[in-house]
Structure 1
Amino acid sequence: MSTENVTSPAPSRTSKAAKSGLRTWVPPLTIAALLVAVAYIANAMLGKRSFLLPAPHEVITKLWDPTSAPDIWVAMWRTTVVSLTGLLIAIVVGVLWAIVMHQTGWMERALFPYAVMLQAIPILAITPLIGFWFGYDFTARVVVCVIIALFPMVSNTLFGLQSVDRGMRELFKLQGATQSIVLSKLEMPAALPAIFAGMRISAGLSVVGAIVGEFFFQRGTPGIGSLINKYSARLLSEELFASVLVASLLGVVIFLIFGWIGNRAVGKWYDFG
């Protein structure tokens, strides 16, 4: 009897894990299958103009076609380096910016409007200035990444710091804790879920920033954005869609990686999702 009591929960946990996996993967895979079916139908309906929307299998084959795959995968690696560099800079600057604003009310009132302005600036309008100031290669692309990915880190970190329970603040104050101790022992740990949520948002935006930067700054080593521009100009639709697909997958992978890191960091005490 005791042996049955010990071993019986295992199938239950396995069943729950299987159901959880089905709930996670079945909906997006179903939508993907529907999109593929729609693409095939649209390709067939276009007839002689089918090059405008190539069949999915023709796009996929370009990812290992020796005439196009090397360029695409090397460009993806370069875009990954640019996007991760810009993302890491945005994380550090965003967290420090939010901490400075959190110290006093007048600092928040003085600095937060500039964070909003940075978010509202149309990036395409200032890319010429970025090129003038930082050149037209790696540094300029990273700057575009930082500008696009910075605001979610600032706003989410500030929100997390300000969301600490008031009772906990009072408890630290009664114990005579200094402002630095309150920040390091209470506010920063409590803000971690919001910080990692900001990282997930900024991760996707950093890929967008890298592609935009490569699209406009053509000098130096080409990335996915440079290839998209080239394939579009030459009407190479299959290679163009393959490059767009790889860029989308890159954004998803970086998003999932930071989601996984967030789960490992705060998942034991917070349902990170």
Structure 2
Amino acid sequence: MVLALVIGVWYLVTYALLTPARRFLMPPPQQVITDGLLGPQAQEMWQALGRTATVAGVGLVIAVVLGIAWAVLMAQARWAETALFPYAVIMQCIPILALVPLIGFWFGFGFVSRVFVCVLIALFPIVSNTLFGLKSVDKGLREVFALRSTSRWTVLRKLEFPAAMPAIFAGLRISAGLSVVGAIVGDFFFKQGDPGIGILLDNYRSRLQAPQLFAAILLASALGVVVFVLFGWLGRRIVGAWYDDARN
């Protein structure tokens, strides 16, 4: 019903509020599908979507590895958290658009720079959520492990990580969507190599190709939704299996 309402408002704006001369500002849905998703540029869009997904995937994997390692290090000692966590906050607070020109100067304007932007955008949710999960272990359980003189590695592997898994996957879902945003932002600014969705968005905007522009936006949004749903499904499967094993 909500989707039908959104489409209805879309038609209302297109045909009731916009004159034919200004209808390019919001073309009707059927024109977006026929001229955009099914038009001559359809193959170009799907290929660009694949390149954007590749950049987002690589950036997300690197962000996950770095973020979890960073959070584990901070969870081991108060001094480590005090020394390192402010830098994670600083990375989150710096506007990414202010760093994009510097990233291009340092790493060029190709695949590496795009991945770097993804990592910067997707890193903080992994760090913060993993750290929160590792530190949210029940105090009584920690005391039980301490009574048995359990090693720090065993505590991390058998207590802290299982307890942190829901928070880790919550961070993964957020970072997965942000990595798609990072891939599009990097592609939008680093206009070299094979085009991704970001370059197509800029091209269609400059040419006033409204149906193709809307179609590219829908494809980019669909990619983010698919990634978000995928990690939500993985979280339910893996976290559930982990807790079932722990109870057994």
Q: TM-score, normalised by structure 2?
A: 0.95
Output the CA distance in 1 between the equivalents of 2:179 and 2:2: 25
Task: Give % identity.
Answer: 57
Structure 2 CA distance, aligned partners of 1:148 and 1:32? 30
* Aligned-pair CA distance for 1:189: 1.0
Q: Secondary structure at the match of 1:35?
A: helix
Partner of 2:163: 190
Deviations 1:220-261 (Å, cap 9, x if unpaired)? 111000000000011101000000000000000000011111
* SS of 1:177 mapped into structure 2: coil
The separation in 1 between residues aligned to 2:10 and 2:158, in whole angstroms, is: 53
1:214 and 2:169 aligned: no
| Residue 60 of structure 1: how far off its partner (Å) | 1.6
Query: Which of 138, 152, 174 lines up with 2:111 in the alignment?
Result: 138
Task: Give the Cα separation in 1 of the matches to 2:120 and 2:7.
Answer: 34
The answer to whether residue 172 in structure 2 is matched with residue 199 in structure 1 is yes
Partner in structure 2 of residue 37 of structure 1:
8
CA distance in 1, matches of 2:112, 2:98: 18
CA–CA distance in structure 2, aligned partners of residues 80 and 202 of structure 1: 14
What RMSD over aligned residues (CA atoms) do the two structures have, in Å? 1.0
Paired letter, 1:36: I
- Alpha-carbon deviation of 1:266? 1.1
User: What's the TM-score once normalised by structure 1's chain length?
Assistant: 0.86
1:47 Cα deviation after fit: 1.7
Partner residue of 2:37 out of 28, 47, 63: 63
Code of the aligned partner of 1:63:
L
CA distance in 2 between partners of 1:56 and 1:201 (Å):
29
1:267 Cα deviation (Å)? 2.8
From 77, 84, 96, give the equivalent of 2:50.
Answer: 77
How far does the alpha carbon of each residue in 1:14-40 deviate from its partner, in whole angstroms, 9 at most, with x for none?
xxxxxxxxxxxxxxxx22111111011
Using the TM superposition, give the Cα deviation of residue 179 of structure 1 relative to its aligned residue in structure 2, in angstroms.
0.8
Distance in 2 separating the partners of 1:60 and 1:259: 29
> Which of 233, 241, 254 is matched with 2:206 structurally?
233
Q: Which runs of 4+ in 1 moved over 4 A?
A: none
2:90 maps to 117
SS of 1:267's partner is helix
Shift of 1:146: 0.3
1:47 matches 2:47 = no
Consecutive unaligned residues of structure 1, counting only runs of 5 or more, are 1-29
Q: Indicate the residue corresponding to 2:80 in structure 1.
A: 107
Output the CA distance in 2 between the equivalents of 1:35 and 1:158. Answer: 39
Identify which range, 53-62 or 261-270, moves more after superposition: 261-270
Instruction: Answer 1 or 2: higher relative contact order, Cα 8 Å, separation at least 6.
Output: 2
Unaligned runs of 5+ in 2: none
How far apart are the structure 2 equivalents of 1:69 and 1:267?
Answer: 40
Query: Following the alignment from structure 1 to structure 2, what is the Cα–Cα distance between the partners of residues 79 and 31?
Result: 29
Q: Tell me which amino acid in the other structure corresponds to 1:31.
A: V
Q: Between Structure 1 and Structure 2, whose CA radius of gyration is higher?
A: 1
Matched residue count: 240
Which residue is 1:22 aligned to? Answer: none
- Measured in 2, the distance between the counterparts of 1:223 and 1:210 equals 8
